[in-house]
Structure 1
């Protein structure tokens, strides 16, 4: 049995690829028994409990901003996800080679936390790959050539904007404005505008249903029903929101992503600017699915903006390709 795996430690979603196939694609959530601190659910099962638990259960999202925030919870979550893929603890040592995706703006301390988790789980060989490079490889771009490629990877916790050439990142911008920040914007808007309290899972459903980057899209009157608790009466209540107003409430956060894109374009080497003018930029990550985002960035930058196919899995697919080229490629970090 081939024991090589690639992992995308996403803030919102955890993915494992094995033998070229995505074998785990689950929310990065874990549930614990408060009294024993024993893990009782992971992934989709734990996410269904989020915001609905009693006093003896707590749900945790151990990854924040694309990095490990709760080491013990992350370790148990990874162990549970590995078990889903058929990799039990007894199989680990010393056979598994891992490629793990990390944000381009990761600190040495955060990087060490990832390395420690992999070693604890029994990885005999660990390789790291920056998420924008993994996305570029997954798209099918030749990152080892000296021509430039620009990637905007909008995940759950971070937005990674990078110019890639010659197996490395020439310049990059990494900001903590991404899917989770957009969910928080929606929660705040619904609370202030409608006096309705909703949770993060509901905000995410609104974003997926009617989230948009522009207020004047053809389907801007598309509507979504929202249920929550009325802050004035304390009673359950239902309202209806449309795409145009959700686009309005997301505008400030998307403007910050725009600003970071422009900053990168301003500092890129002039010899690579021509490559980007010809090729444009590529959007990956869950945020790439936001309606009208490609159009908004194209209007701002006057560049071609390509939304990749299956953007949610593009990073882990790139890591899976990198797994097959260990020893041949120069973009993996040992």
Structure 2
């Protein structure tokens, strides 16, 4: 796909889309335009889709860019093409339709409507909320800590997960922290959440001055929060490879290797632009590919 300034009609996978506001600057400090973000998604789709397909998607929408109004959208944005698949999802207020990103065309259609961040649950629509096939731990540094400390915590969590027969995969969140994923045999959100909370609590008990499980701000200073709650069926996590709407530039939830985690001494080492992520994928492929397969799937115990 090639886009230019203004508006352009394109055909992607047999779907015709009218891309608009292509010259809009979404990130004033870095200068990234909507056209550049669309180009990123079009080129990254081949490795991003396996991690998002079949899941009910939520978005962070910010049509005017990082400096404008933004909000979380679970229902399809106004103007969504009718061919973009939808799935009914039960929420506490009732049942609502949500989008599923099953193709590059669907992804570009949503991004074109200002849905720049893609978030997904850890269960597939086919299996439902009782079929979580991924465990996730969100390592969020509190004041006085940073991504480097998250990397040290992640290394220990990797060992604890391995002791339980689980294989961990690291993904920098694209903001401040680090996500750890582990493929699991399908289980309910209650089961995965219980395991994740127990693991986070074990880590906190082992390193009480380094790790916290509570969301209370006063307890987070100088510690890394292990947010286990994103395993709840109603919660979502930034999808691997999604753009993140940072104030000054577009971040990316980028998969990294354990060698990179071990070697991280400055947060900037694991902060990537969309262009850098494309270069990494061109050179090494999807280092997270195994997460979307059954290769390392294991039961929780």
Compute the TM-score of the two structures, normalised by the length of structure 2: 0.25
More helix by share: 1
Structure with the greater alpha carbon radius of gyration: 1
Compute the TM-score of the two structures, normalised by the length of structure 1: 0.24
